[in-house]
């Protein structure tokens, strides 16, 4: 008969994740709203504030100035509404030479 040796069990606790910053929340809201925005604002810049579309314009600089004048100088997310392009990877190689060559 064999006796199984057991080690003491311990509990590991992970720290709570940090809350997202306002800028990160606005960026996440943009991607969440993107399917609707593609139908209504395709080709325009939109400004996201409080996780909603605050304004839109064809000129991103004018849009930023207008939104900041309206809501104050707070973090907003401004992005061009366009279909998400797939990530393209370009294969390449590297020549590794011994040191001194």
Flag whether pLDDT at 36 surpasses 70: yes
Say if 56 falls within a structural domain: yes
What mean pLDDT is predicted for residues 13-30? 93
Q: Has residue 60 been placed in a domain? A: yes
Mean pLDDT, the chain, whole residue set = 90
Q: Please name every residue paired with 14 in a beta bridge, in sequence order, or none if there are none.
A: none
Q: In the chain, what is the straight-line distance between the N-terminal and C-terminal CA atoms, in Å?
A: 64
Q: If you average pLDDT over residues 16-26, what whole number do you get?
A: 93
Q: Find residue 79's DSSP bridge partners.
A: 46
Positions of E strands within the chain: 45-49, 52-57, 77-80
pLDDT at 93 over 90: no
Q: Could you tell me if residue 49 is inside a domain?
A: yes
Q: How many domains, the chain?
A: 1
């Amino acid at each position: 008969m064999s006796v199984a040796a057991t080690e003491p069990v311990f509990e590991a606790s992970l720290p709570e994740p940090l809350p997202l910053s306002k800028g990160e929340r606005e960026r996440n809201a943009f991607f969440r709203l993107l399917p609707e925005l593609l139908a209504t604002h395709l080709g325009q810049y939109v400004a996201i504030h409080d996780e909603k579309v605050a304004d839109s314009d064809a000129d991103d600089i004018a849009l930023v100035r207008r939104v900041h004048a309206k809501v104050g100088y707070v973090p907003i997310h401004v992005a061009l509404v366009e279909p998400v392009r797939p990530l393209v990877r370009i294969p390449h190689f590297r020549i590794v030479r011994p040191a001194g060559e």
